[in-house]
Amino acid sequence: MIPAKIDPISITTIREKGMESIIDWFGHHKESFYALGWSYFRSQRQMEELFYQTILKVYKEFPRFKNVTTFETWVTSIFINTCHELHEDRSLQASEESEQHKDLFKAFDQLKKHEKEAMALTYIKGLSREDAAQLLRVSAEEMKVHMFSGIQTLRKEMGYRPTLNGCSEYHNDYFDYLEGTLERSKKVALEIHIYHCQHCQEDLASLQEIMLTLSSVTEKMADFHVPSDFMGNVKARLAEKERQRQLKFKKRKRMGFVLAGVIALLIGIEVIAGTFSNLYYTWTEEDQELRAFLQQDLGERLDLVAESDGVKIKIKSAVADHVQTLVFYEIEDTATDNQYVMHYNDGVFVENEHEIMSREMFPRYYPLDLESDVNKDKKNVYQGKMSLLPLTSDKGTIKLQITKLQKLIRNSSDSNGINPYENIDFKTGEWNFEIPVTKQPAIEYALDEEAEIEGIPVRFNKLILAPTATILQFGINHEQPEKRIDVINFDNLEVNNKIVKADRYGSLFMNPELDMNWIAFQAYFDPLYGEKPKQVNIQLKSAQLTVEDRKTVELDASKDYPQTLEYAGSTITLEKVEIGQPANIVISDREVENRAFELLNFNILGEDENENSSMEMEQEGVLVDKSGKKYDINERHFPFEEIEQPRYFFTVQNIRMHSNNPGEDVIPKWLEIYGYNTTKYLDDVVKISVE
């Protein structure tokens, strides 16, 4: 672990001297950050870019720094995020690789992302496990899991067996025991057990050796060599960046006087003409959905702009209610003819999400809009929308940070089409916004109607009209164990002769139960805000059911295979039954036409029903639309969004059974089929009068 140093620079000094003090601070901490960065990158060029980008972000974000954590921990979080962003930049691939601690970093490259970060922060940067967990935004328990799995991976790299052989009930205690943090009663119990268990002794010995090896390596990190010209090169780039910023500032200042006059003129027009807003948005807003929100005063025109590396993002507006916060955006590539889109939680996140947003709802998924005039005609502009979590209060300011955009690739077979799934590529950068949002109210209407679907009672309880969505709340009765509805899919909702389409991704489970025998759901439809319902017609589309139909089949590996059995009107083939470690069983039913089920629910039992074994499964299947047409999901241009009411039929299931007792074969003896899952297409309409 790199020895801690007394900070020679105070927070007050940084506030007074700005960039210069931050550069000096990094100069005093360069060894520890350089070593941490080396776990991601392998060249001085990459490391210089990493330090350069991090210092710029620390300088920009410093006014928001709060003393809820140490300054070094806060800077480390920015440093790690910058590592993530630059690691995806193909232009920064290493052209040379240092020999410093090469074996250690080569071993670290075998770790999964979360394992690698947990290990690097603890053993390379020297943070405590608690501080590292806070920085990675994981719980102490999750941090322990990442550390333990990382050590197991390194254990394999050092030539030990790939899996632990000791008693599984004690695995979770190994790590705490070796760190000396296991509570006394568990510690005593483990030590008594170890005395009698050779396998657990071997596990602990190998894990202890790896942890001691890591501890010895981290002590050597204090000698990690930073090239003599490293900080000088970074400082020179920052000085040039500042010079360019000053030149841009002078140019913008001259333009400001002209813009001020234009804005004053527009304000005057607004005062004179009371209907200006409605006409103005009709003339100026291309997005019909956003135009409707603006004309109804459910949102306001924002036009917030940020630019990074030739790509300009404009936040056009945001509309919020208790369902979601809908953000309308435009992305323009000012340098080349590229179109980009953004995806929430993939390079796009809300910095103050935990402070202002509710987790009782989920962001809604919206497919890409590839057919609008703007997105079809302009090769370097994309206009879209993105769903964020709803606000917890009536007003708030969303601090949106964008570090990655997905590039859309035009389909070569159609010059007007765009294929978002081919050759996926990304654009990294830094676009930050502060978006003011006001949450709009929703109107709720009580419904009191019960219907039967496939013989199962369904209650329709409430209709909610919100600005961004219409929500139907309903309940499904689960008293009949032999058959139950898992999901209901709707086609549309008709309110006062106005029809809105249902979200094709189905109904969502709600946490609260209506009562003991009823489960609550809600389905989303397009918005109907402002409409007072008198008559509601609900057009059903399909229901996904679980049917209980038990059948037990004896398995005998000594017989010749394949063999067949009849079930639910279909012929199922047992292609293979093999004893071994693992045992292999292959079940198939490739004929899907008129088949009653999409998926069998079953279990395989060994000769001893109580034996300690585990089961893994590989599956094959085919997608079939309502008309019976089959689709290959492995095709390059798979048109899932266009398929009418698809059903996925499992055709082959390859099961492997592993014994948890080393050297002991598994003998498959029984196939227990519990039932199956199926989809029923529906044409029913439920009609409800609203008082």
User: Where residue 138 falls among pLDDT bands split at 50, 70, 90?
Assistant: confident
User: Where residue 217 falls among pLDDT bands split at 50, 70, 90?
Assistant: low
The dihedrals phi and psi of 208, each to the nearest 5 degrees, come to -65, -40
Does 432 lie in the same domain as 334? yes
Rounded Cα distance between 674 and 553, Å, is 11
Give the whole-number percent of the chain exceeding pLDDT 70: 79
Q: Show Cβ contacts of residue 623 under 8 Å, excluding neighbours closer than 6 positions.
A: 630, 631, 632, 633, 643, 646, 647, 648, 649
The top-scoring range by mean pLDDT among 74-78, 159-163, 221-225 is: 74-78
pLDDT at 9: 52
- Can you tell me the mean pLDDT for 139-165? 74
Place of tokens 């961004």: 468
Name the residue with higher pLDDT: 286 or 566: 566
Cα dist. 603→600, 609, 656, 659 in Å?
10, 11, 12, 15
Rounded Cα distance between 176 and 185, Å, is 13
Does 566 lie in the same domain as 533? no
Does 590 lie in the same domain as 501? no
pLDDT at 254: 53
Rounded Cα distance between 644 and 427, Å, is 34
Name the residue with higher pLDDT: 371 or 588: 588
DSSP, collapsed to helix, strand or coil, labels residue 199 as helix
Rounded Cα distance between 434 and 439, Å, is 16
pLDDT at 260: 47
Q: Would 144 be classed as within a structural domain?
A: no
DSSP, collapsed to helix, strand or coil, labels residue 526 as coil
Task: Pull the structure tokens for residue 627.
Answer: 């008309």
Evaluate if residue 263 carries a pLDDT over 50.
Answer: no
Q: Would 27 be classed as within a structural domain?
A: no
Structural domains counted in the chain: 3
- Can you tell me the mean pLDDT for 133-137? 81
Buried-exposed string 83-120: b where 16+ CB fall within 10 A, e elsewhere: bebbeeeeebeeeeebebbeebbebbeebeebbbbbbb
Of the listed ranges 314-318, 371-375, 597-601, 648-652, the least confidently predicted one is: 371-375
pLDDT at 523: 92
- Identify the domain boundary among 389, 413, 438: 438
pLDDT at 22: 86
- Can you tell me the mean pLDDT for 510-521? 70
- 683 half-sphere exposure, CB direction, 13 A CA radius: 1
Evaluate if residue 418 carries a pLDDT over 50.
Answer: no
Rounded Cα distance between 408 and 422, Å, is 8
- Can you tell me the mean pLDDT for 279-305? 77
Q: Would 594 be classed as within a structural domain?
A: yes
Q: Would 163 be classed as within a structural domain?
A: no
Does 448 lie in the same domain as 428? no
pLDDT at 673: 93
Does 321 lie in the same domain as 451? no
Evaluate if residue 433 carries a pLDDT over 70.
Answer: yes
Q: Would 270 be classed as within a structural domain?
A: no
pLDDT at 3: 38
- Can you tell me the mean pLDDT for 155-177? 72
Of the listed ranges 220-224, 226-230, 340-344, the least confidently predicted one is: 220-224
- Can you tell me the mean pLDDT for 325-349? 91
The dihedrals phi and psi of 219, each to the nearest 5 degrees, come to -65, -30
Q: Would 579 be classed as within a structural domain?
A: yes
Evaluate if residue 10 carries a pLDDT over 80.
Answer: no
- Can you tell me the mean pLDDT for 456-473? 93
Cα dist. 53→73, 82, 676 in Å?
17, 7, 55
Planar angle of CA 408, 284, 310, nearest 5 degrees: 40
CB 356 within 8 A of CB 502: no
- Can you tell me the mean pLDDT for 621-637? 80
Rounded Cα distance between 76 and 30, Å, is 12
Of the listed ranges 146-150, 182-186, 189-193, 414-418, the least confidently predicted one is: 414-418
Instruction: Give the total residue count for the chain.
Output: 691
Does 289 lie in the same domain as 425? yes
SS3 content of the chain, % helix, strand, coil (to 5): 35, 35, 30
Evaluate if residue 451 carries a pLDDT over 90.
Answer: yes
Of the listed ranges 15-19, 312-316, 519-523, the least confidently predicted one is: 15-19
pLDDT at 410: 62
Evaluate if residue 244 carries a pLDDT over 90.
Answer: no
Rounded Cα distance between 397 and 305, Å, is 16
- Identify the domain boundary among 409, 438, 467: 438
Name the residue with higher pLDDT: 458 or 45: 458
For 449, the domain range is: 443-546+683-689
- Identify the domain boundary among 408, 438, 468: 438
Does 673 lie in the same domain as 569? yes
DSSP designation for 439: B
- 194 half-sphere exposure, CB direction, 13 A CA radius: 18
pLDDT tens, 192-202?
777 777 777 77
Radius of gyration of the chain (CA): 31
- Can you tell me the mean pLDDT for 359-371? 81
pLDDT at 33: 87
Name the residue with higher pLDDT: 292 or 224: 292
pLDDT tens, 544-576?
899 999 999 999 999 999 999 999 999 999 999
- DSSP letters spanning 201-247: HHHHHHHHHHHHHHHHHHHHGGG----TTHHHHHHHHHHHHHHHHHH
Name the residue with higher pLDDT: 222 or 535: 535
pTM here is: 0.57
Planar angle of CA 214, 218, 220, nearest 5 degrees: 120
pLDDT at 308: 93
Rounded Cα distance between 546 and 549, Å, is 10
Give the whole-number percent of the chain exceeding pLDDT 90: 33
pLDDT at 267: 44
For the beta carbon of residue 566, count every other beta carbon within 10 angstroms: 9
Rounded Cα distance between 50 and 226, Å, is 14
Does 351 lie in the same domain as 310? yes
Place of tokens 């917890």: 392
DSSP designation for 473: E
pLDDT at 381: 93
Q: Would 107 be classed as within a structural domain?
A: no
Domain containing 403 — which CATH number?
Answer: 2.60.40
pLDDT tens, 61-116?
777 676 667 788 888 888 988 888 787 654 454 444 455 555 566 666 777 778 88
Evaluate if residue 610 carries a pLDDT over 60.
Answer: no
Does 429 lie in the same domain as 482? no
Name the residue with higher pLDDT: 144 or 578: 578
Planar angle of CA 449, 451, 456, nearest 5 degrees: 135
- Can you tell me the mean pLDDT for 112-127? 80
Does 671 lie in the same domain as 556? yes
Name the residue with higher pLDDT: 653 or 17: 653
Does 569 lie in the same domain as 531? no
Q: Would 240 be classed as within a structural domain?
A: no
Evaluate if residue 650 carries a pLDDT over 80.
Answer: yes
CB 285 within 8 A of CB 314: no
Sign of torsion over alpha carbons 29, 31, 32, 33: positive
- DSSP letters spanning 238-263: HHHHHHHHHHHHHHHHHHHHHHHHHH
Task: Pull the structure tokens for residue 497.
Answer: 């002769």
Does 508 lie in the same domain as 433? no
pLDDT tens, 486-509?
889 999 999 998 999 998 765 676
